[in-house]
Structure 1
Amino acid sequence: MIKFRKNVALFIMCAVILQMSVCPVNATANADTLIESKFVSEMRGVWVASVYNLDYPTKQTTDAEILKKEAIKILDDAKDLGMTAVFLQVRPTADALYKSNIFPWSRFLTGRNGLAPQNDFDPLEFWIQEAHKRNLELHAWINPYRVTKNGDQEYQGICADSPAKKNSNWIVRYSDGNYYFDPGIPEVRTLVVEGIAEIVNNYEIDGIHMDDYFYPGTGFEDTKTFEKYKKNFTNIEDWRRNNVNLLVKEISDRINEIDSEIEFGISPAGIWANKKNNEVGSNTNGTESYYQHYADTRKWAQEGWIDYIAPQIYWEIGHKTADYKTLVTWWSDTLKNSQTKLYIGMADYKTIDVKKDSVWYQGEEIEKQLNLNDLYENIEGEIHYRYASLLSDKNLYNKVKDYYKNQPIKVYVQGEKVDFDQEPIIKNGRTLVPLRKIFEALNADVIWDGETKTAKVTKGNIEIEFQIGNKNLIANGKSKTIDVEPQLVNGRTLVPLRAISESMNLNVDWNGTTKIVNIVE
């Protein structure tokens, strides 16, 4: 959800409830709320990568105006697509796209490690402000261990006060030529946790996000570290997994200690483990985060250490070794009894420059996958990789936009989704919902009189009487006029949300982007 400090949130909520009762209808918007809900019950996210200038900035620059202009364009496009959240990569390689006392300014931002933007410009602060203006969440995406993406040349260009230079004994050069912090060193864990705490303390972000980069692979040269810090572990692989587990748990605890409203989520590789290597794994044959990256992503989700998990299921439906449907089903089943929300990482990048005979051509596979996700009750949204990929193909862009735009209205009562046999509708700027299902979800009694076409609702000491086609309702014996009369649609009585909220003393919250209604007593 879009994050507010607690006292501000209380003020805004009170103001919204008051305005819902007294303000005139805006004909161009849904009148059941004057601002879009900050309760986003469905994730529609997009990754914005800064590494290699893939998305932002497109060119390294210190010019604040250029950086602002590019940010605004991305956020406007995200809003147009129907997104609810942007995941901005703010620490691609032990650096920062924000003012930090721990990590130096990123070379991907300004062209040189440690070089600040002009005019004291803070990109992260600007992104947060502009995202929230558009009712978009802003999640700070970090890479915890990676120090370089261009090997020795990049490492030589790191400024002297970087923790990667000041503590060179914390660094391991991997076989790909790049440098990584050693996850087995306790001080490294502290560095990563405190780096995140700095962001959480200083910025009004909505979440902290990490992707699939943990240990780079099995050939990591950390034997000496293992001998020094192994404690009771005899197996280096189990010890490595424990190192990452400790990091994830400490990040979770630290964030909750500072502000429990901030979400912490991870988007790991799509395969936790193959069934041939682990009996509870998926029926696949691909790179396994559990064995190759020492990331026990299943444990993090089941233990509730993270608020959401977004596995990167970057294969098509019907793939021979890693079928999309097989993996979606495995993750859905795995998280069935978990409080951790499940989102799916989408491979929009695979639509770039493909031939007509490719399943990914013009976004056709993405569209199929989005529709498949709808069939799983506990899949609560997607995150698309990545912004420039969505912009590279107008057919993909329009398919994603139309998919989100054409979603039906969804209603949640006390956090639980209500399923209707008649979809809610909008009439004259008012949302109308099936009466019986809503009040049954609220444990209210509903009596229908077919002869007079009247519904009587009773809950505790509150009694409300509606009549089809009548703009007057009776609440506890007093008649009042409502904006839109109850409707009879396909044999179901639909009533306006505003009438429900005022008569039943409910908080009714509408998100115009996702078309999601939250009803809370």
Structure 2
Amino acid sequence: MHIRQLLITALCLLLATVTLAQTTVDASRYPKREFRAVWIQTVNGQFKGMPTEQMKRTLVRQLNSLQEAGINAVIFQVRPEADALYESRLEPWSRYLTGSQGVAPSPRWDPLQFMIDECHRRGMELHAWVNPYRVKTSLKNQLAPGHVYNLHPEWFLTYGNQVFFDPGLPQSRRHICLVVADIVTRYDVDGIHIDDYFYPYPISGQDFPDNASYARYGQDFKNKADWRRHNVNLLIRELHYTIREAKPWVKFGVSPFGIYRNQSSDPLGSRTKGLQNYDDLYADVLLWAREGWIDYNIPQIYWEIGHPRADYETLVKWWALHSENRPLFIGQSIDNTIAHADPNNPNINQLPKKMALQRSYQSIGGSCQWYAAALEENKGRYRDALIQEYHKYPSLIPVFDFIDDEAPKKVRKLKPVWMEDGYILCWTEPKYRHEMQRAVRYVVYRFDDKEDINLDDPSHIVAITPIPFYKLPYTDGTTKYRYVVTALDRMWNESKSVTKKVKL
């Protein structure tokens, strides 16, 4: 009898395990936490001279499309040429907004503030993307009379067909830090983002003309290359402290060129044969991560699997092994991904293989798509694939626990109420002692009445919202459900849950 009871118990446990496996989604296939970002560039002129209301409609349409595709963070370019797509007393309005630098939009509006509001309304983060050194993308571009170039021409250098701040000058770093401090102080951004433009991409046969600043400030360095890297290191470090002092919850991230160093230059480098961050752009990205000066890294791995000089698979593996204990996400090129077939299946593009690679490394916490318009256009049915498979369920952004790991308190007074708009699940914001602990978003989960509550399963997330209520899908009031609400702070730490049974 004892053996029979043991067998029955074992069988029940087995059935329970099978049932749980059938009702819980695969965490490796559908992670609850993943950085799912996209870049929206302005330097390409897509908004240049666009009337205010048309640009607002375009951005809203784009954000709606991105939200449907599971995007949870937007990196929006606001400073392409030492100018501003926002109200600034330091730099002029951007030509990429109004068509003429220094000319304010009419009717007047603030694109950065608009994007912050619209992203937060959708439960997304907004990272302000600034280009630190670039001043002119073309020498023919006219600068506004009050542009810093016209006030301090001695701070700038011309290289090829472009103009840049001289990275070797303390005045350049000071001005860039002032601009970033101004953005962080006045706007509720979730992050400050810098892309791959540090020292300019080299022009064959032309050296960057910084001999004067090297003669003045480079005496303690063995060579100009070390001095140039030092200059960029100083900027990154100073930006880190500038942001931390202003608002410690604002993240600072970079998206460097996809190759750090080739093995031919450094035995620790990748098996690639391309331009190098360290040697050509003077960007020592690994040092920044190791020192904690950056909060996340998104290397732009825009090549295909099988590229002869910069193989995607090789580079993803290399960066995964060199994250330096900082959040690592992969910069994906939509155009490149859909243009190349899977090496093992010529009938499909490389998205499935790339996503599988990305998710196979524990040190990689997500990706960023280049670029938003391509995603919205659904090139190669890329957006469809995200919706139907890779972003099928919502995902929370990974916790940046090295900034803060204290979860907010749980929500209060959770209850369903009838209102003019329908049946609403309401709650009260949790109390908090300091800004870092304040709830800025809420997660709403739904479970069947008899179903086990498993908050690690993202298929039960029905909303990520900044507002303390959720409209319930009421039908006839005969079916029981259990709704669970948690609070998220600025670092996406999740509170303990509160549950309410509801008949819908």
Q: TM-score if structure 1 supplies the norm length?
A: 0.69
| Distance in 1 (alpha carbons) for counterparts of 2:236 and 2:52 | 34
Residue 104 of structure 2 is aligned with which of 110, 116, 124? 116
Number of residue pairs the alignment of both structures matches: 395
CA distance in 1, matches of 2:52, 2:348: 34
* AA partner of residue 138 (structure 1): L
Distance (whole Å) between structure 1 residues aligned to residue 95 and residue 345 of structure 2: 33
Instruction: Give 1:244's aligned residue.
Output: 232
The alignment partner of 2:241 has SS state of helix
| Shift of residue 400, structure 1, vs aligned partner | 2.3
| CA apart distance, 1:350 | 2.4
Change (3 A) 1:77 1:412: closer
Q: Tell me the SS of whatever aligns to 1:117.
A: coil
Is residue 304–residue 340 contact of structure 2 (8 Å, CA) maintained in 1? Answer: no
Find the residue that maps to 1:159 and give its secondary structure. Answer: coil
Q: 1:304 to 1:100 in 2, by over 3 A?
A: same
| Aligned equivalent of 1:46 | 38
1:400 matched residue in structure 2? 386
The SS at the match of 1:65 is helix
Deviation at 1:116, TM superposition (A): 0.5
Does residue 1:346 correspond to 2:366, yes or no? no
Give 1:172's aligned amino acid.
L
Deviation at 1:349, TM superposition (A): 3.0
* 1:214 aligns to 2:198 (yes or no): yes
- Asked whether the 8 Å contact 1:60–1:109 carries over to 2, the reply is yes
Equivalent residue for 1:205?
A: 189
Q: Could you tell me which of 150, 159, 176 is aligned with 2:144?
A: 159
Superposition deviation, residue 368 in structure 1:
2.0
Aligned pair 1:84/2:72, yes or no? yes
Higher deviation after alignment, 251-260 or 212-221: 212-221
Alpha-carbon contact 1:362-1:396 (below 8 Å) kept: no
**3-state SS of the aligned residue for 2:350?**
helix
Q: Confirm or deny: 8 A CA contact 2:33 2:395 kept in the other structure.
A: no
Distance 1:186 1:169 in 2: 12
Alpha-carbon distance, 1:412 to partner: 9.1
Q: Secondary structure at the match of 2:44?
A: helix
The residue matched to 2:306 in structure 1 has which SS? coil
Q: Deviations over 1:310-358 (max 9, x none)?
A: 00011112222212121111111112x51x1000000113257x58899
State the 1:410 CA deviation. Answer: 8.8
| 1:404–1:97 distance in 2 versus 1, CA, 3 Å | same
Instruction: For residue 164 of structure 1, report the CA deviation from its aligned partner.
Output: 1.8
SS of structure 2 residue aligned to 1:295? coil
Q: Tell which deviates more after alignment, 313-322 or 71-80.
A: 313-322
Determine if the alignment matches structure 1 residue 171 to structure 2 residue 133. no
- TM-aligned CA deviation for residue 75 of structure 1: 1.1
Instruction: Determine if the alignment matches structure 1 residue 189 to structure 2 residue 181.
Output: no
What is the DSSP-based 3-state SS (H/G/I as helix, E as strand, rest coil) of the residue aligned with 1:381? strand
CA 1:120–1:313: 2 relative to 1, 3 Å? same
1:379 matched to which residue of 2? 364
Q: 2:26 corresponds to which residue?
A: none
Root mean square deviation, CA, Å: 3.3
Match of 1:318 in 2: 306
Contact kept, 8 Å, 1:81 with 1:397, in 2: the verdict is: yes
Q: In the alignment, which residue of structure 1 is the partner of 2:290?
A: 302
**1:20-59 equivalence runs, <5 A:** 41-54=33-46, 57=47, 59=48
Task: Flag structure 2 segments of 5+ consecutive residues without an equivalent.
Answer: 1-31, 406-444, 458-479, 498-504
SS in 1 for 2:228: helix
Shift of residue 287, structure 1, vs aligned partner: 0.8
Distance 1:362-1:266 versus aligned 2 partners, 3 A rule: farther
The equivalent residue for 1:462 is: none
Per mean C-alpha deviation after superposition, the further-off stretch among 358-367 and 374-383 is 358-367
CA displacement, residues 353-387 of structure 1 (integer Å, 9 cap, x when unaligned): x5889999998213321121111112111010001
Residue by residue over 1:228-287, the C-alpha shift from the partner in whole angstroms, topping out at 9 and shown as x without a partner, is: 111411311000000000000000000000111000000000110011101221111111
Q: 1:390 aligns with which of 366, 375, 382?
A: 375
Query: AA paired with 2:82?
Result: A
Relative to 1, partners in 2 of residues 1:199 and 1:281: Cα closer, same or farther, differing over 3 Å?
same
Cα-to-partner distance string for 1:462-482 (whole Å, 9 max, x where unaligned) = xxxxxxxxxxxxxxxxxxxxx
Asked if the contact 2:84–2:92 (Cα under 8 Å) also holds between the matched residues in 1, the reply is: yes
Q: Write out per-residue CA displacement over residues 179-200 of structure 1, whole angstroms, 9 at most, x where no aligned residue.
A: 1111001100001111000100
Question: Is 1:497–1:508's contact at 8 Å kept on the other side of the alignment?
Answer: no
Task: Report SS of the residue matched to 1:330.
Answer: helix
Residue 422 of structure 2 is matched in structure 1 by none
Q: Find runs of 4+ consecutive structure 1 residues off by over 6 angstroms.
A: 355-363, 408-416
Partners of 1:397 and 1:343 lie apart in 2 by 19
Residue from 118, 126, 129 that aligns with 1:138: 126
- 138-147 or 406-415, which deviates more: 406-415
Q: 1:128 touches 1:205 (CA, 8 Å); kept in 2?
A: yes
* Greater CA drift, 308-317 or 237-246: 308-317
After superposition, the Cα gap between the structure-2 partners of 1:357 and 1:207, relative to the gap in structure 1 and judged at 3 Å, is closer
State the distance in 2 between where 1:410 and 1:130 align: 18
Which residue of 2 is the match for residue 428 of structure 1? Answer: 448
AA matched with 1:238:
D
The verdict on how the C-alpha distance between 1:305 and 1:413 changes in structure 2, with shifts beyond 3 A counting, is closer
Runs of 5+ consecutive residues of structure 1 not aligned to the other structure: 1-39, 417-424, 439-482, 485-495, 499-506
- 8 Å CA contact retained: 1:412, 1:519: no
Change (3 A) 1:180 1:275: same
Pick which of 404-413 and 217-226 moved more. Answer: 404-413
Correspondence for 2:462? none
